[in-house]
Structure 1
Amino acid sequence: MSRSQRLLDLMQLLRRHRYPVTGAGLAAELGISLRTLYRDIATLQEQGAHIDGAPGLGYVLQPGFMLPPLMFSEDEVEALVLGSRWVAQRGDRRLGAAARDALAKIAAVLPPDLRDTLDASALLVGPGQPTVAEDGGLALIRQAIRSEHKLEIRYRDVGGAESVRTIWPFALGYFDRARVVVAWCELRQTFRHFRADRMIALADSGQRYPRRRQTLLKTWRETEGISTQ
């Protein structure tokens, strides 16, 4: 492995850890010695990476350090293309336009050889069932999730019964035939899943719900037995 590839792998490894990780753990994952690891960390720090920590204490990468575009691998470029194409075809209009814009921005800064890889990617998204959820509703749901705001909804269940609820939305699942909001329901006092296309009306209450989105997501995963890996 070249030194440049090793430095890239180290950066990617640090990005995956939100909390300090020991030098021994990093060295073991990279298959290098501790001495080499310390040299590589010093090199990255000299290049502007905000890596906090010290031998024996662990290391953590602070946000803000941008990787040069040429450090994308071909596999990473294809993953970006495939993901963007999926969102462009299966997302609502605003999200689809954002995916296309993001891909165009990435293409604009890639070196020529990787730009060719992006343009010629043969990974395609197959046809899927169209959804009937309104674009404006999905945009409002995403904004409520980002803002950690309660939503007031009027909901029609599979049997046709309607109810008015206050929910704390913290995740939005994209399936071929439906978009599903994962939320805490104040009426039922538990987690519930709501199909976006069955929300007859919805409004942002402007009120923050009392728990953090990440905490709700973690608790829901534990309740449902969903792995975070």
Structure 2
Amino acid sequence: MRRADRLLKIVHFLRSRRRAVTAQTIAEQFEICTRTVYRDIQDLMTSGAPIIGEAGVGYMIDKDYFLPPVTFDVDEIEALGLGISMVRHWTDDGFAQKALSALDKIQAVLPAALQGQLEQITTYSAPNLAPLPWQVSFSDLRDCMRRRRKIAICYSDGTGKESQRQLRPLAVIFCSPVWLLVAWCETREGFRHFRLDRIAKLDILEAGFADEPDKNLAAYKAQDGIPVA
């Protein structure tokens, strides 16, 4: 990997992490030695990247920091186009508009040689011809995840039995044609999945929740045999 590419990837790596990342973690991620990490971090800071931290403690970057425009190869453009198509056809109007906005921004920064590639994409997502009706807002739910706001729902299981749940929403997973909400259920004290089409009512609560190690998304991903609500 070229050093310039590695520096760019290190910035992306830091932006994707919520907590400070040690030099050892960065070294393992990019298969380099910690001395190289220290040098790369120093060069990034010198170039203006808002990285805070120090050797032996860890590094974080201001999440408001945006990288200058980057270019994509043909397959990357194809993958981005497919992702945008899926968002448009399988989420809600608000998120679909964000996908179109992202497409406009991508097209604006592409070099002239690649401008036509977006018009020649050959991989698509078809519209959902038999959509499962939702009574909850996909965008509001995502906002609760970002802001770590608890929610209360009225949920019906596969037999039609209703229950009231108080949740910490963590993620949504697309299992065509179903969207699943992944949450820590405070009512059942464990991770659960909830089909969006079976949530009859959703209330956003004033209470927030902390990123507790045993109840967060990382813990969910690490756990096997997740029970389904």
Superposed pair shares fold, TM > 0.5? yes
Tell me the residue number matched to 2:167: 167
- Distance in structure 1 (CA, Å) of the matches to 2:159 and 2:76: 44
Paired residue total: 218
Could you give the per-residue CA deviations for residues 172-227 of structure 1, whole angstroms, max 9, x where no partner exists? 11221111111122221211111110011111122113x3277511222222279x
* Aligned 8 A contact 2:136 2:199 in 1: no
Tell me the residue number matched to 2:206: 206
SS in 1 for 2:23: coil
SS in 1 for 2:197: helix
* Aligned 8 A contact 1:15 1:61 in 2: no
Q: Which has the higher helix share?
A: 1
* Aligned 8 A contact 2:136 2:202 in 1: no
* Aligned 8 A contact 1:154 1:165 in 2: yes
* Aligned 8 A contact 1:179 1:195 in 2: yes
- Distance in structure 2 (CA, Å) of the matches to 1:151 and 1:168: 7
TM-score of the two chains, using structure 1 as the length reference: 0.76
- Distance in structure 2 (CA, Å) of the matches to 1:20 and 1:76: 30
Pairing 1:40-189 to 2, within 5 Å after superposition: 44-50=44-50, 60=59, 62-63=61-62, 64-69=64-69, 71-74=70-73, 75-126=75-126, 130-134=130-134, 136-189=136-189
Quick check: which has more Rg, 1 or 2? 1
TM-score of the two chains, using structure 2 as the length reference: 0.76
CA drift of 1:126 comes to 4.7
- Distance in structure 1 (CA, Å) of the matches to 2:13 and 2:140: 30
> What stretches of structure 1 move > 6 A for 4+ residues in a row?
none
Unmatched runs of 5 consecutive residues or more in structure 1: none
| RMSD between aligned residues | 3.5
